[in-house]
Amino acid sequence: MPSSSRSTEVVVCGPAAWNHLILLDRLPEPVPHMQLARRSWHTLGGTSAGKALHLAGLGIGVRLWTPVGEDADGERVRSSLAGAGVAVEAVRSERTERHVNLMTEDGGRVSLYVSAPSAPPAGAVEAARAAVAAADLAVIDLSELGGLVLADLPARRARIWVDLHDYDGASEFHEPFLRAAEAVFMNDDRTGDPWELMRSCLDRGPRLAVCTRGADGAVALEADGTRHETAAAAAEVADTNGAGDAFMAGFLAATVRSAPVAGALNAAAEQARIAIESDHLHPVLGRG
């Protein structure tokens, strides 16, 4: 895939949140009961925040457009990102997104959305759209803001990468994101055949599809049919939240620095390890 030898600026568009993470022995059963948490902590969350953090950590210039409220959680989100070197374009929201994530050590998770952002103002959508169009490369995450930005992009625009997460190959919500993308990323949670899922994505326009497979590593498929595979990097697991975002950031950073697909996959697996071994989306959040 093409890349530039000059400094690349990436625009990331999508969610950031303030999260409460609670580690349990087991996920709650659908009956009244009591459990003692093994531990709990508050930290930055959101798929777009995770990608922006890892891109900044890899030395990529990144600007994050994300809905943030004028509340205490919003201030925590803004200060955490700014402290990690991420330029934040806060889209006005009535409230900041907030989750409670119930987790187990084997990777089980239930995410409770305590608050969601309000609809982005039209002026902010237009400004984000202009920033995406002017960027060298843009990552558009699944979100109301991302969908509105994609709805009326100019013909001449940046290269767009999209994270489809647990895409099943048929969701209508994902369709405009998929068709706008040059490269798509996903996991294998809802497919028994990642190669067929990736092929179905490439049939709608992207030139590259990448599918993460947890402990089984990741696979990639190019539009010409070339297949690639990589193993997962060995890791001491602290928290699996954000591993996919770190993986995509690692792949993107390697690609803009002219790495071939195979090399970018290896770099992505190593970046995912960095996230997995931290209690936060990126270890920079746990420093100081």
Q: Is the pLDDT of residue 131 over 80?
A: yes
pLDDT digits (tens, 9 = 90+) for 179-195: 999 999 999 999 999 99
H or E element, residue 222:
strand 218-222
Among 4-13, 45-54, 92-101, 216-225, name the one with the lowest average pLDDT.
4-13
CB 146 within 8 A of CB 125: no
Query: pLDDT at position 135, please?
Result: 93
pLDDT digits (tens, 9 = 90+) for 11-36: 999 999 999 999 999 999 999 999 99
- CA Rg, the chain, in Å? 18
Q: Write a three-state SS string for 107-162.
A: CCEEEEEEECCCCCCHHHHHHHHHHHHHCCEEEEECCHHHHHHHCCCCCCCCEEEE
Tell me the domains of the chain and their CATH numbers: 9-16+47-93+118-286 (3.40.1190.20)
Identify the band that residue 1 occupies on the pLDDT scale cut at 50, 70 and 90: very low
How many whole angstroms separate alpha carbon 208 and alpha carbon 20? 35
CA proximity to 107, closest of 240, 221, 16? 240
pLDDT digits (tens, 9 = 90+) for 206-240: 999 999 999 999 999 999 999 999 999 988 888 78
Q: What is the separation, in whole angstroms, between the first and last Cα of the chain?
A: 38
CB 161 within 8 A of CB 172: no
CA proximity to 16, closest of 88, 110, 94? 88
Average model confidence (pLDDT) for the chain? 94
How many whole angstroms separate alpha carbon 138 and alpha carbon 161? 6
> Mean per-residue pLDDT for 124-146?
96
